[in-house]
Structure 1
Amino acid sequence: MTDLPPSRIKDISLASRIPEGELAWMERLYPVTHAAGREIAGRDFKGRTIIVSGHLLLDNICVTLPLLDAGARVLAIACNEDSTDDRAAAYLAAKGAHVLGWSGMTPAERQELVKLAASVDADVVSDMGAEVTVAMAARGHQPWGALEATTTGLHVLTEHKTVPFPVFDWNSIPLKDALHNRWHVAATCWPTFEQVTGINLFGRKVLVVGFGPVGRGVAQRAIALGATTLVAERDPVRMLEAQHFGCIPSTLEDGLAAARIVVTATGRAKVIDDSHFGWLRDGTILFNVGHGSREIDVDALDNLPRKNVRPWIDAHQLPGERSVYLLNRGSLLNLAPGSAAFGADLFDPFAAIILRGIEWLLDGGAKDFAPGLHGFPIQIEREIAQATIASRK
């Protein structure tokens, strides 16, 4: 059994900054996850090692503490440079988890942490983005199984076809695809946008880049909020679908030239790069709601003069005396650290999916599966859906 690396967080004392009332309120926000957690806390998982890669937010506490209470060793690692709540990271470390991540990491710092996590001989991995999964495969380690939660991670796994252990895709289950991807991201990103910028969408021209489940929901909500909504999408079938939803089909270049607000939702890096900067209008606002932090080429923007003009807003000076405004350094806007957690309760069924999925793997659920990508167990999804319905009566 390999030793777990010591925690690398901003400040352990930040754990005390989470009021007891806030933790108690989390039980109200996450009733399904807490119910699953109470059962799992009574299990005996001593000697088991679990890696949980995700956004180090308060909801991660609901997932991690039951596993610790059951005797497991848990390594929690940030899946994004800019989404960590340093209070939550400190709280988890204080409770005995080994925690890797802090707000404002550089991409290089986070990649170093990914390598560190992948050096651990874990029994089970719960991943967001597949980076830990792929790094483990590269070093030849074979956990019992892994979970993957994102479209970005599925892209990564498709490109690395030699993962020598089973990986279970819960990004594609109807519960996540139809609810979280389609509705919940949009329900949280636009209130966060208004909070961060002070700008309402009425009469604004918005470009949504990507019309998968996340982009579809973001575009629909923008229309409902009064925006003229353009969509840039490579798939002509999705583009036609966007038109049926009331969006205006556009090429990426034409959309960038027309819109004043641009949001990316593709799950791929550098969808907007320096070759596109010339199309941007003075005053354009750029932000991302995809998993990665580089769908917009932040590194290329950082080669230009930059200044922070407001929390979560950086102005970048383009040639021709044009300024564009990047929100939350290109990371998921709806998870901007320190902003209001709009609709946090919406993630309850998905935190429960993670917890029950980890339990299923620890119980040997993957033993009859070949290496490679598989669907997530439908019985767990249905159990969580039923529990969620019951919790809202």
Structure 2
Amino acid sequence: MDGSLAEAGERRIGWASRSMPVLTAVGARFAGERPFDGVRIAACLHVTAETAVLMGALRAGGAEIALAASNPLSTQDDVAVALGDYGIAVHARAGVDRDTYYRHIHRALDIAPDLVLDDGCDLVNILHTERTEIPVLGGCEETTTGIIRLRQMAAENALKFPMVAVNDTRTKRMFDNRYGTGQSTFDGIMRATNALLAGRTVVVAGFGYCGRGVAERAKGLGARVIVTEIDPVKALDASMQGYEVRSMAEAASIGDVFITVTGNRDVIRAEHLVEMKDGTILANAGHFDVEIDVRALADLASSVHPGIRPNMDEYLLNGRRLLLLAEGRLVNLAAAEGHPAAVMDMSFSAQALAAAWLAGEHSRLAPGVYDVPTEIDTQVAGLKLAAAGITIDTLTPDQESYLHSWRLGS
């Protein structure tokens, strides 16, 4: 890569760090405690300025780090170059093909890591299929999609080492998944389309924490929101919150903008695509590019006009134009810059503290998927409140006693 990008990367990282006081404090603590002395860490994450601040905190704690990208369209090349100047081995470049993407992951694994940080479970999958010779001690997973894969591996007794489900903390689900995904998804859609969303019908596929955030932001922008779901409880929740709930088959001919946020594949399929209106916008906010069946879209199209705007491709189907954003990949990272740094401050602080906990506790843990210890989640939230100048109440001794005694009643 062009070494002249390093200065731009430094500026981008410096700007992100201003909004990441919690992770900065964690890095300062790591510099004194050195929890990762002698520890090699391989990471497969989005190579962004926010990730760079995380890498800096781990490096301050003594870790040797190799970083690969978890999505080739999200890599910020200037950040990758700047990280290399920090002494972190970066194997990532924006826009690489699938083969190069996996080759970069293998290069990150060449350091024979003790711990791994994953975003989508591709790195962990390779450790269980192609690089089984590496004796990994444990790792952390950042995404809903990755946790789904890890829990299936654990259920089949295939998981060979402990993995911490960073995605499942209360702070991550509330702050990152809901508010981060909600805002950054529409940031990507608006940059790619410059479309007015007020008065249009937005179909949100999936009403988990991420889908809930997307639906809330769409409603706030003045859109009519339809939610599709497979879970009766989540569908009922969406309905009780005032959203219209339909099947994708019903919504296909109604929606103007479709956003998939499920963690599953083929959510929008050929039978849906053929029913869609002229000018329909298709966007994915789930981790992998499988939620919209892009292959079926290409097969149905009479012609394809790539790049009619940055991160927008036009597919013609019997005179109708369907507009696919970011090739069906994560629209918030491919067409925008992902979550705001203030959001990633909490997620990456939990990631860093969970990795430090795992470095000390791995010998006591059997292979499996573990929750982040509650005290880490609470600590991250407390640090964020303190950084924002927000104070909260604490229990009095009498209140503490009341909550811990079954003998006291009305």
TM over 0.5: yes
Give the Cα–Cα distance (whole angstroms) in 2 for the partners of residues 112 and 200 of structure 1. 40
Q: Alignment partner of 2:167: what SS?
A: coil
Within 2, Cα distance between the matches of 1:188 and 1:206? 16
Is residue 140 of structure 2 the alignment partner of residue 147 of structure 1? yes
Structure 2 match to 1:309: 308
Alpha-carbon contact 1:192-1:342 (below 8 Å) kept: no
Cα-to-partner distance string for 1:356-388 (whole Å, 9 max, x where unaligned): 2222222x1222111111111111111111000
Which residue of structure 2 lines up, in the alignment, with residue 13 of structure 1?
Answer: 4
Q: Distance in 2 between matches of 1:198 and 1:342?
A: 19
- 2:350 maps to amino acid: I
Q: 2:330 aligns with which of 326, 329, 332?
A: 332
Moved more, 192-201 or 240-249: 192-201
Q: Percent identity?
A: 31
What letter corresponds to residue 383 of structure 2 in structure 1?
A
Going from structure 1 to structure 2, the CA distance change for 1:209 and 1:170 (only over 3 Å counts) comes to same
Cα 1:217–1:31 change in 2 (3 A) is same
2:37 is aligned with 1:53: no
Shift of 1:301: 3.5
Hey, what's the Cα distance between the residues in 1 that align with 2:23 and 2:284?
28
Which runs of structure 2 are paired with 1:104-115 in the superposition (5 Å)?
104-115=95-106
Residue 7 of structure 1 is matched in structure 2 by none
Structure 1 residue 341, shift from structure 2 partner: 6.1
The equivalent of 1:37 in structure 2 is 27
* Deviation of 1:183 (Å): 2.2
> Bigger shift: 174-183 or 292-301?
292-301
Distance 1:184 1:132 in 2: 24
Q: Which runs of 5 or more structure 2 residues have no equivalent in the other structure? A: 390-410
On the 8 A contact 2:13/2:79 being kept in 1, the answer is no
Higher mean C-alpha displacement, 189-198 vs 169-178? 189-198
Instruction: Return 5+ residue gaps in structure 1 as ranges.
Output: 1-9
Q: What is the identity, as a one-letter code, of the residue corresponding to 2:380?
A: I
In structure 2, the residue matched to 1:239 is: 235
Aligned to 1:297: 293
The residue correspondences of 1:85-96 to structure 2 (distance < 5 A) are 85-96=76-87
Normalising by the residue count of structure 2, what TM-score does the alignment of the two structures yield? 0.87
Deviation at 1:342, TM superposition (A): 6.6
Q: Which residue of 1 aligns with 2:149?
A: 156
Contact 1:40 1:66 in 2 (8 A): yes
Give the Cα separation in 1 of the matches to 2:100 and 2:281: 27
RMSD: 2.0
For 1:103 and 1:392, locate their aligned partners in 2 and report how far apart those are by CA, in whole Å. Answer: 34
- Structure 2 residue corresponding to 1:202, chosen from 176, 198, 203: 198
Q: State how far apart, in whole Å, the 1-side matches of 2:30 and 2:285 are.
A: 32
Structure possessing the higher radius of gyration over alpha carbons: 2
Residues 72-91 of structure 1: pairs in structure 2 closer than 5 A? 72-91=63-82
Contact kept, 8 Å, 1:188 with 1:342, in 2: the verdict is yes
Aligned pairs for 1:109-124 within 5 A: 109-124=100-115
Kindly tell me: are residues 342 and 316 of structure 1, through their superposed partners in 2, closer, same or farther at Cα, counting changes over 3 Å? same
Alignment match of 1:185 (pick from 181, 186, 200): 181
Whole-angstrom distance in 2 between the partners of 1:11 and 1:153 = 33
Deviation at 1:106, TM superposition (A): 2.3
Offset at residue 150 of structure 1 (A):
0.9
Q: Distance in 2 between matches of 1:11 and 1:163?
A: 39
Name the SS for the 2:384 alignment partner.
Answer: helix
Amino acid paired to 2:167: N
1:383 corresponds, among 364, 379, 384, to 379
Aligned partners of 1:388 and 1:103: how far apart in 2? 32
CA distance in structure 2 between the aligned counterparts of 1:274 and 1:101, rounded to whole angstroms: 33
Q: Which residue of 1 aligns with 2:119?
A: 128
CA distance in 1, matches of 2:57, 2:348: 12
Aligned to 2:405: none
1:255 pairs, out of 246, 251, 254, with: 251
Q: Deviations over 1:39-86 (max 9, x none)?
A: 213444443210122110001111112333444210111111211111
Match of 2:397 in 1: none
SS of the equivalent of 2:41 reads: strand
CA contact under 8 A between 2:264 and 2:291: conserved in structure 1?
Answer: yes
**Conserved in 1, the CA contact under 8 Å of 2:23 and 2:57?**
no
Distance 2:96 2:379 in 1: 37
How many pairs align?
380
**Contact kept in structure 2, 1:130 and 1:153, CA below 8 Å:** yes
CA distance in 2, matches of 1:206, 1:24: 36
Secondary structure in 2 aligned to 1:96? coil
* Cα separation, 1, equivalents of 2:298 and 2:6: 33
User: For the residues of structure 2 that align with 1:38 and 1:358, how far apart are their CA atoms?
Assistant: 16
Q: Aligned AA for 1:158? A: R
Matched residues in 2 for 1:384 and 1:270: separation?
Answer: 36
**2:311–2:326 CA contact under 8 A, matched in 1:** yes
Distance 1:158-1:358 versus aligned 2 partners, 3 A rule: closer
- Aligned-partner SS, 1:171: helix
